[in-house]
Structure 1
Amino acid sequence: MRILIATDAWQPQVNGVVRVFETTVDLLRAMGHAVEVIGPDRFRLGMPAPSYPEVRLALPWRIGRMIERFRPDAIHVPVEGPIGLAARAWCVRRGVPFTTSFHTRFGDYFEARLGIDRRHLYRMQRWFHDAGAAFMVQTDSLERQLGGYGFRRIRRWGRAVDTAAFRPWRDRPDFDPDFLGLPRPIFLYVGRVAREKNLEAFFGLDLPGTKLVVGDGPQLGEYRGKWPAVRFLGYRHGDELARHFAAADVFVLPSRFETFGLVVLEALACGTPVAALPVPGPLDILGDGSGVGVLSEDLASAALNALRLDRAACRRFAEGFSWESCTRQFAANLVPIEPTAWK
């Protein structure tokens, strides 16, 4: 199948959504599909995205010509940005079916930060996605929530973790878990450094040892000045990122607004137990009684209790999430384009 993905979430950005699409594209190609990605790297970049200054928006000129040159059998348009809007408009104008997927709870973010009624934002997102022939979501809780907001044609596209890239480095004889040189226990957060991630709730916890942050974002400078006891390392990639996951004693996710929380699986794959709030995303992954994470509104208690969990069990749990299965699910959700569309 010839699959075209027109996405604003792509290189040169670094985030969980980009990792999802990079992994999906690689596996689709390994399965024999021809995949074309129309992302920000194909265009001149313009103004920064609202509330995401590190993400510069693409100016997607001539996107229709790119689509027509590739002549895809299926089109996926996931993100409500300039590329997504341009691809959506082209498909609607031509009567070409396409699929979409959900990646950001804009309504929850903006209600929490700016006091904007979340229903207005979900109404805008619904307008975007309802034009598609199918709408992919990651979890049961998302399907229930978005169905309640009137989203239609919902199909499941799960998430997984690359257990070869994210692995239990502590099992290697040449790995020194104390390479960071920090007081233990180490409580780690990996992700975007931004207000909507609820990081100050993590920073303010009364915990022994070290709070460590790996990632970048608009509040990095502010938080470095305000929370001098927290160690901020900026971005880490590849094996270096996995080594930081493995060196930590507990991974802490304070966010209330995840669509899934891929970093939870990445931590578990490295053998690191998880402490998180009992909210959609962590609840969908860990549920009750998984034995590899602690979910509680008392995040300090969750983090301390997670110290006692079995690291080998964390790895075994993560091994149950297969990217190959998720990628086949994605391909099965695509809606074929009639060959006559390209005549």
Structure 2
Amino acid sequence: MKRRVLIVSPYFYPEGGGLEKYAFNMALELSEKNEVTVLCMTRGEEGWEDLGGIRVYRVKPGFIVSNTPLSLRFVLKTAGMVRRADLVIAHTPVPFAADVASFLAKLRGIPIRIVYHTVGLKKGAGFLDALAGLYSATLERLTLRGVGIIAVSKTVWEYLRENGYNPRVSHPQISLPEHASRQRSCSREKVILFVGQLGRYHRFKNLYLLVRAFSELSVEFPEWKLWVVGDGDLLDEYRRLALELGLGSRVRFFGRINNPEELAEIYSRSGVLVLPSSFESFGMVVAEALAFGVPVIVSPHVGARILVEPGKNGFVLRDLSVSSLVDALKLVMDDPKLLRKLSSRSTLRGHR
């Protein structure tokens, strides 16, 4: 008889970003030998669906605070589903969903694992950071007490160890492996690629820094373009910035892309991926880009920098500044031979 596994996540693929992709890949892997059900919240339509053989229940939140969905109905739904589970896996540190799952699983005596995705909740938001600190010192400690903890990167593992926990590491798997074979058949274009959420709670991904760096190089390299994949409430702000800098059609905003074939096509045509985040527990887009033979330029604060071999498959910025990003971009934009060399060596090393 198959084990019944319940995965609890604040949101779930195709909504969200890296956390949700990780949860989806974990669910797919577990579904090969287990009966997997996912419970999450959604900004879209409430209901259930079959997603690759996984039964997914999506609950509409009552309200959302700082990107954290809250719902009494979600609590009641979790209570019913936990009762029928043999194992519960909850994804955090987005508050509420994992806290509810942990409390109810412990109450029922059901084993629970917590997958931890980032180095804390503070993002330079003043009052909200104060609340995040209070949460980490109180409710989160109760949630993580007595459970198995999985860190998604060495950076997250170190953070948790420093805070008195004993996690193990399980790096994300790439989301588009079946499409990566096209990387050798598609011709590369002079394109700088950014993939990430564009919401106000994701300013730390520093897209504005990349747009400004591209602006400084746009006259010297008129054939190059910047492609942005992602959506959020700051999309219009980034579009205005591109127009103000005179970039016009040089910056293309694709919006959110849920179709794996379409996203694979974009990776395959791009020249280099840039992720200049102020902090990033891992950065699955880096692993995805390398799987498609796309060199990467990342900040020193990106967990997936462990995949980058400077000068072989990409570069790690010396610091987070426009000048540092300009220097790194100029290396690949000014040297087609180097770019081809980086691309040919951009393969994803085993890292699980």
TM-score (norm 1): 0.78
Displacement of 1:170: 4.5
Query: Paired residue for 2:168?
Result: 155
Identity of aligned residues (%): 23
Q: Which one of 209, 212, 217 corresponds to residue 227 of structure 2? A: 212
Amino acid across the alignment from 2:253:
F
- Give me the whole-angstrom Cα distance separating, in 2, the residues matched to 1:66 and 1:118: 28
1:190 pairs, out of 187, 191, 195, with 195
Q: How many Å separate the matches in 1 of 2:209 and 2:326?
A: 10
Aligned residue for 2:98? 84
SS at match of 1:158: coil
Paired residues of 1:110 and 1:118 also in contact (CA < 8 A) = no
C-alpha distance in 1 between matches for 2:139 and 2:271: 38
Aligned runs of 1:209-288 on 2, under 5 Å? 209-228=224-243, 229=247, 230-236=251-257, 237-286=259-308, 288=309
Residue 54 of structure 2 corresponds to none
- Show the counterpart of 2:25: 23
**Contact 1:3/1:35 (<8 A) preserved:** yes
Q: Which of 2, 6, 9 is the aligned partner of 1:7?
A: 9
Q: Structure 2 matches for 1:79-228, cutoff 5 A?
A: 79=92, 80-110=94-124, 116=130, 119-120=133-134, 122-123=136-137, 126-127=140-141, 129-148=143-162, 150-162=163-175, 164-167=177-180, 169-172=182-185, 175=186, 177=188, 185-194=190-199, 195-205=203-213, 206-207=216-217, 208=221, 209-228=224-243
Deviation at 1:259, TM superposition (A): 0.9
What displacement does 1:132 show?
4.3
> By how many angstroms is 1:193 displaced?
0.9
Within 2, Cα distance between the matches of 1:306 and 1:168?
A: 23
- Give SS of 1:17's match: helix
Amino acid at match of 1:215: G
Moved more, 110-119 or 127-136: 110-119
The answer on whether the counterparts of 1:189 and 1:252 sit within 8 Å (CA) in structure 2 is yes
Query: TM-score, normalised on structure 2?
Result: 0.77
Corresponding position of 2:35: 34
Separation in structure 2 between the aligned mates of residue 13 and residue 253 of structure 1, nearest angstrom: 20
SS at match of 1:107: coil
CA RMSD of superposed structures (Å): 2.8
Distance (Å, rounded) in 1 between the aligned partners of 2:138 and 2:313: 37
Per the TM alignment, residue 224 of structure 1 is displaced from its structure 2 partner at its CA by 1.1
Match of 2:350 in 1: 320
Match of 1:65 among 42, 55, 80: 80
8 Å contact from structure 1 (residues 177, 246) kept in 2: yes
Shift of 1:253: 0.3
Distance in 1 of aligned mates of 2:300 and 2:265: 27
Contact 1:107 1:121 in 2 (8 A): no
Go from structure 1 to structure 2 and tell me whether the alpha carbon gap of 1:98 and 1:56 turns closer, same or farther (over 3 Å shift): closer
Give 1:214 deviation, angstroms: 0.6
Equivalent-residue separation in structure 2 for 1:125 and 1:200 (angstroms)? 35
Say which SS state the counterpart of residue 22 (structure 1) adopts: helix
Q: Using the TM superposition, give the Cα deviation of residue 114 of structure 1 relative to its aligned residue in structure 2, in angstroms.
A: 6.3
Q: In the alignment, what sits opposite 1:331?
A: none
CA displacement at 1:231 relative to structure 2: 2.0
Q: Which runs of 5+ in 2 are unaligned?
A: 42-46, 48-56
Distance 1:263 1:128, change over 3 A: farther
**TM-fit CA distance, 1:51:** 3.7
Structure 1 pair 311/20, CA: closer, same or farther in 2 (3 Å)?
A: same
Q: How many aligned positions are there?
A: 305
Q: Cα deviations across residues 180-229 of structure 1 (Å, max 9, x unaligned)?
A: xxxxx311100101322111111110233222211101211121122222
Aligned partners of 1:234, 1:295: CA distance in 2, in Å? 26
Q: CA deviation at 1:56?
A: 5.3
Distance in 1 of aligned mates of 2:304 and 2:77: 40
Note the C-alpha offset of 1:168.
Answer: 5.1
Structure 1 match to 2:343: 311
Would the alpha carbon gap of residues 226 and 162 (structure 1) be closer, same or farther in structure 2, given more than 3 Å must change?
Answer: closer
Q: Spell out, residue by residue over 1:283-332, the C-alpha distance to the aligned partner (whole angstroms, 9 max, x if none).
A: 3332x547112001212222233452421211xx31535xxxx5xxxxxx
Counting strand residues as a fraction of each chain, which structure ranks higher?
2
